[in-house]
């Protein structure tokens, strides 16, 4: 008699085996890609030698030192300004003192904004993790950006100088009252002279205290790139 085959007699491959093998293959591929990526990154961003680090650290520390000096000198100037208004001229009218105080407080707000930008650069300069060529290239970009901030910072004092001049003209007594033309001429002349003078001062100040050290770092990075 012909044997009747039952369904249990047929053996099918387990459907789980291919999926497990596929998962293992995918995991191995991902690990290989990660290793290849890390190798490429390490090749593209070589670490700077100890010799170059020592050469670069010197101008970086000079920049940090000058930034600290400028910060504390600015704080001292603002404190001196408040002291002049409220201590040195006790006989001055209250409105005169009040207007100058508001002016100094406004100046303090502007100074705080710019120094918050400079403080980020100050911290990045002292970052011990800065060991690669790419990280120093990013720092050079920050130097260029902060140069524009610095010029804007210096020029931001022009409106305060003009406002201070207006307050002085209005409140201080004159032997002969100034005409409207004289007042307008004085204020416009002060505005033009302030813009021109502070722009030149900012360029000179930046070049002496920061620019020459930034150039040294750029030259060292150029030498490192050639090697």
Q: Is the pLDDT of residue 111 over 90?
A: yes
pLDDT of residue 46: 56
Mean pLDDT check: name the lowest of 24-28, 119-123, 170-174.
24-28
By C-alpha distance, which of 227, 155, 144, 166 is closest to 194? 155
- For the CA atoms of 151, 153, 157, 158, the dihedral, rounded to the nearest 10 degrees, stands at 40
Q: Band of the pLDDT at 200, cuts 50, 70, 90?
A: very high
- Three-class secondary structure assignment of 213-224: HHHHHHHHHHHH
Per-domain residue ranges of the chain: 12-42, 49-226
In three-state secondary structure terms, 212 is helix
91 vs 184, residue with greater confidence: 184
Question: Which tokens in the block code for residue 26?
Answer: 């995918």
* Residue whose structure tokens are 């409105």: 95
115 vs 124, residue with greater confidence: 115
Q: Is the pLDDT of residue 166 over 90?
A: no
> What's the mean per-residue pLDDT of the chain?
78
Q: Band of the pLDDT at 108, cuts 50, 70, 90?
A: very high
Task: Give pTM, 2 decimals.
Answer: 0.70
Q: Band of the pLDDT at 227, cuts 50, 70, 90?
A: low
d(CA 91, CA 78): 21
20 vs 81, residue with greater confidence: 81
Decide: residue 63, CB within 10 A, 0-12 exposed, 13-18 middle, 19+ buried.
buried
């Amino acid at each position: 008699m012909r044997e009747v085959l039952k369904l249990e007699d047929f053996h099918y491959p387990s459907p789980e085996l291919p999926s497990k093998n596929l998962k293992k293959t995918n995991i191995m591929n991902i690990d290989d890609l990660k290793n290849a990526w890390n190798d490429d990154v390490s090749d593209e961003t070589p670490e700077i030698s100890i010799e170059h680090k020592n050469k670069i650290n010197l101008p970086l520390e000079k920049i940090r030192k000058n930034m600290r000096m400028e910060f504390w000198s600015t704080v001292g100037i603002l404190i001196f300004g408040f002291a002049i208004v409220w201590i040195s001229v006790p006989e001055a009218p209250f409105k005169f003192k009040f207007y100058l105080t508001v002016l100094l407080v406004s100046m303090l707000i502007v100074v705080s904004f710019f120094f918050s930008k400079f403080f980020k650069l100050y911290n990045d300069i002292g970052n011990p993790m800065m060991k690669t060529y790419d990280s120093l290239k990013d720092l050079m970009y920050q130097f260029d950006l902060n140069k524009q901030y610095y010029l804007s910072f210096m020029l931001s004092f022009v409106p305060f100088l003009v406002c201070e001049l207006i307050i002085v003209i209005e409140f201080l007594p004159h032997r002969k009252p100034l005409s409207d033309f004289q007042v307008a001429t004085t204020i416009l002349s002060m505005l033009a002279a302030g813009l021109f003078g502070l722009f030149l001062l900012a360029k000179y100040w930046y070049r002496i205290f920061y620019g020459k050290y930034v150039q040294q770092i750029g030259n060292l990075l150029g030498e490192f790139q050639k090697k």
